[in-house]
Chains A and B, each alone.
Chain A
Amino acid sequence: MKFFSETYDGMNSAWIYDSAVRDTPGRVVRDLIRARELLLDLVWKDLRARYRYAVMGFLWAVVEPLLFMALLAVVFSFILGDRAALTGSGSRPYAIQLLCGLIFWQYFSAAVSSATLSLVEARHLVKKVRFPREVIPLAACLVPLVNLAIGFALLGVTHLLLGGRLSAGFLAIPVVFGLELLLTLGLALWFSCGHAIFRDVGNMVAVGLMFGFYASPVIYPAELVSRATELPAWLAALYWANPMAGLLTAYRNLLFEGSPGDVRMLIWPAVCAVLVFISGLAVFRKSAGTIADSL
Chain B
Amino acid sequence: MSTPVIEVHHLVKEFPARRGARDLRGRGGLGDWLRGQKTGRFRALDDVSFTVSPGESLGIIGRNGSGKSTLLSLIAGVTRPTSGRVIVRGRVASLLELGAGFHPILTGRENVYLNAGLLGMRHRETDAVLDEILRFADIGDFIDQPVETYSSGMFVRLGFAVAAHTNPDIFLVDEVLAVGDEAFQRKCRWKIGELREQGKTIVFVSHDLGLVHALCDRVVLLDGGRLVQRDTPQETITWYLRQVGNESGVHVFRAGRTEAVQCEGRISLFRDGREITAPAGLGCSVVSLGQYHAGSQADWKVQDRHETGCVVRGRFPRLPVSLWWTEQIDETGRFHWRVELECERACALDQVNLALSVPAAYTRWMYGDFSGTFPEIQPSDTRWTLVLSPEMRSNRAAALPDDSASLPPLLFEAVPLWPHVGLAWYNAEYLAQSRVLQASVNFMALAEQLEAGRHPLVELVIDPTLRAEDASWQIRSDRTVRSGRMRARFEHGGVRLFFDDEELTAYLNGYAAMLIEHLWADSHTLQWQEIRSEGEGFAIEGISRRFPFRQLWRLWPEQDGIRFEIDLETDTALQAEEYQVSLVLRPEYDSWRTDAESGRFAPFQPEDTMWKHQNRTYPSGNMLAAWGGGLPQVAFMLQDNSPPMRPTAINTSALEKARVLQFLRTGDGGRLVFGPGRHCLFSGLIRVEATGDLPVGSFSGESDER
Contact = CB atoms under 8 A, between A and B. Distances in A.
A8 B305 CA distance: 58
A13 to B, nearest CB: 10
Interface stretch (B81-89, B191-199, B347-355, B590-598): B81-89
Interface string B82-100: 0011111111101011001
B73 A19 contact: no
A143 to B, nearest CB: 13
B90 A42 contact: no
B89 A292 contact: no
Interface in B85-144: 85-92, 94, 96-97, 100-101, 103, 105-106, 110, 113-114, 117-123
Contacts of B91: 2, 14-15
B78 interface: yes
Contacts, number: 125
A41 B656 CA distance: 79
B117 A45 contact: no
A170 interface: no
Nearest to B26: A199
Contacts of B375: none
A289 B97 CA distance: 20
B122 A12 contact: no
A2 B120 contact: yes
Interface stretch (A69-77, A128-136, A154-162, A246-254): A128-136
Contacts of A18: 85-88
Interface stretch (B27-35, B229-237, B461-469): B27-35
B40 interface: no
A201 B30 contact: yes
Contact of B97 (A19, A44, A52, A124): A124
B119 A129 contact: yes
A198 B29 contact: yes
Contacts of B113: 41
A19 B80 CA distance: 6
B87 A17 contact: yes
A3 B97 CA distance: 20
Contacts of B146: 52
B572 to A, nearest CB: 78
A152 B86 CA distance: 49
Contact of A14 (B29, B81, B169): B169
A19 B78 CA distance: 10
Contact of B117 (A4, A41, A126, A200): A41
Contact of A17 (B77, B94, B117): B77
B103 A16 contact: no
A237 interface: no
Contacts of A24: none
B123 A37 contact: yes
A125 B118 contact: yes
B96 A9 contact: no
Contacts of A129: 76, 78, 94, 96, 100-101, 118-119
B547 interface: no
B16 interface: yes
B79 interface: yes
B77 A19 contact: yes
Most buried by A among B3, B114, B118: B118
Contacts of B90: 14-15
Contacts of A128: 73, 76, 78, 94, 96-97, 100-101
Given A129-B100, A293-B15, A17 B79 contact: no
Nearest to B5: A14
Contacts of B73: 127-128, 292
B543 interface: no
A290 interface: yes
A243 to B, nearest CB: 24
A73 to B, nearest CB: 35
A37 B97 CA distance: 22
B110 A48 contact: yes
Given A19-B87, A129-B76, A294-B28, A45 B103 contact: yes
A225 interface: no
A38 B123 CA distance: 9
Given A52-B105, A290-B80, A197 B120 contact: no
Interface in A26-59: 37-38, 41-42, 44-45, 48-49, 52-53
The 3 closest A-B pairs by CB, nearest first: A130-B77, A289-B80, A198-B30
